[in-house]
Chains A and B, each alone.
Chain A
Amino acid sequence: MSLPTLPGPDSAVVHVHGDGATQGPFSRRALFERARSGAARPDDSFWFEGMDGWAKLAGHAELFADLDGSAATESPDDRAERTFGKLVQASWSYYNAHKFASHVDEVLLGAIITSVLDTGYALIDLTSDGTHHYVRFQNLGDNARILVRLTHLTGDLTKAKVQGHRASVVIGYGERMDDFARIFQALKAEVKSGYIQSPEPGTITVDGDMGTGYVYVSVDLYLCVDDYVPPSYLVKYDVLKDHLGSTVHALRKYLRGRFSVGRPSVGGGGKSK
């Protein structure tokens, strides 16, 4: 049976017959809600002014087409599958929030790699186990090095919701020293740095590598990852580059002041591509 022109969705003109009783009139919207809640069933009959006779809800999805016609006419199997589908969809939303909390540090690491490469450095070392990350860069022009050690502190959603996404980050800057006295001076400083069990933010430690002749200075920081990586994944590169650049500037100044470096060959720090 084809239906005449449907009444408006909120006009209470639809009569329903089921379980030996007639109920209503209901509006189409109210009937749709009853069908969704199970109060009206697919084998109930309905009638409104203009119809030739009673018709089963199950055969007339068009009655709810402008609302959401699926509920009233679907079979119990379809309804169960639709409910299952909704549960799965809701689970994806929950799962994605967890995933974001667990890999936001890696988004930051990738952004750090991009930002440092943009200033003329090349990535020369990458070690990661998923939580602890270490990257080292070298400027192929003046051989200056930048290192970043990043540890994710809030890898689960609960911690991230309470504290925000946090990471412990050590940023280091190094230059190659050709004379033994400076490297030895750095190695002595390194021994002292070794006594610092848990550096406070801003503490600068010194490290020397006799094999390659590099002297590094490093600083411990705690970063709020949300400042750089929003849930949209559109990284705020301008903020990240500003913070990295400022830190490297401070470290370079400290290194050169501490070890009396003033050679033009390493004086430029990073250069832009």
Chain B
Amino acid sequence: MIGLFASFANKAEIRESKDEMLVGEIVRAMSRKHWPAIGFRADADRQWVQFKAVGDATLAHVYVTLDRKTGGSMLQDAILGSKATLKIAGEIKNQLTDPDDLLAMYKTDLANMFKLPALGGIKLNHELNSVFATTAFMIEINKYVGTAEPDVDGLTALLFGTVDKLREKLAPYKKS
């Protein structure tokens, strides 16, 4: 009997852990590119990881935030699946030293302050030394992890395809 209860409890834990599984695979995919994680903030339903884009000529950092929306319970998982918002941001750093550049960036900071990112779109945001490009979309976690055949290649393609688009948006703002 105790084995049966333990088995139920274990299945519930695994179901609740699908977002962590996905974050683990994201960390591993990034490490394949030699982009180490340099920041973690994680609680029950929201995980944020910062990666250093080592060797990338344009990007300095990439940020991934996974915010789980559904699928924590067996009923939700069966009816709605395990939906989560995946937000990916790229950052370039210009290490500004010219007062004229600082002034120009300050003006664009103000202009961007009240813009909100639209789902699927890319939002640009200047913050003095940094320029960020951010995009967010809804994903089905079950598609990538927690099943008999996890689609790790699909996750990697989604991740780096998005990073490529962000890099493209940011490239014009990168100062040599």
Given known contacts A89-B95, A107-B38, A235 and B6 CB-to-CB distance under 8 angstroms: no
A195 within 8 Å of B (CB atoms) = no
Given known contacts A123-B24, A125-B17, A235-B31, A180 and B2 CB-to-CB distance under 8 angstroms: yes
CA distance A75 to B41 in the complex (A): 48
Enumerate 8 A-B pairs (CB-CB under 8 Å) in ascending A order: A114-B28, A122-B24, A128-B42, A130-B39, A179-B2, A213-B3, A233-B34, A234-B34
CA distance A117 to B30 in the complex (A): 13
Given known contacts A114-B27, A212-B9, A212-B13, A107 and B36 CB-to-CB distance under 8 angstroms: yes
Cβ–Cβ < 8 Å partners of A103 in chain B: 38-39
Interface size on A, as a range, is 35 or more
Cβ–Cβ < 8 Å partners of A54 in chain B: none
Q: Are A107 and B37 in contact (CB under 8 A)?
A: yes
Task: List the B residue with the shortest CB-CB distance to A117.
Answer: B28
A85 within 8 Å of B (CB atoms) = yes
B91 within 8 Å of A (CB atoms) = no
Q: Are B20 and A126 in contact (CB under 8 A)?
A: yes
CA distance A103 to B49 in the complex (A): 12
Kindly identify, within residues 176 to 213 of chain A, every residue whose CB is under 8 Å from any CB belonging to chain B.
176, 178-180, 183, 211-213
B54 within 8 Å of A (CB atoms) = yes
Kindly identify, within residues 133 to 155 of chain B, every residue whose CB is under 8 Å from any CB belonging to chain A.
145-146
Q: Are A178 and B6 in contact (CB under 8 A)?
A: yes
| Binary per-residue interface labels of chain A (115-140) against chain B in the complex, 1 for a CB within 8 Å, 0 otherwise | 00110001111111110010001101
Given known contacts A107-B36, A123-B20, A125-B20, A176 and B6 CB-to-CB distance under 8 angstroms: yes
B interface with A by C-beta (< 8 Å):
2-3, 5-6, 9-10, 13-14, 17, 20-21, 23-25, 27-28, 30-31, 34, 36-43, 47, 49, 52, 54, 95-99, 145-146
Q: Are A213 and B9 in contact (CB under 8 A)?
A: yes
CB distance from B123 to the nearest CB of A (A): 25
CB distance from B35 to the nearest CB of A (A): 9
A-B interface, 6 closest residue pairs, ranked by CB to CB distance from nearest:
A123-B24, A110-B37, A213-B6, A85-B97, A178-B3, A124-B17
Given known contacts A117-B25, A124-B14, A106 and B2 CB-to-CB distance under 8 angstroms: no
Q: A127-B42, A178-B6, A179-B3 are in contact. List 12 more A-B contacts (CB 8 A).
A: A81-B99, A88-B95, A110-B38, A111-B31, A117-B28, A118-B28, A122-B17, A126-B24, A133-B40, A137-B24, A176-B6, A178-B3
A88, A122, A130: the one contacting B41 at CB < 8 Å is A130
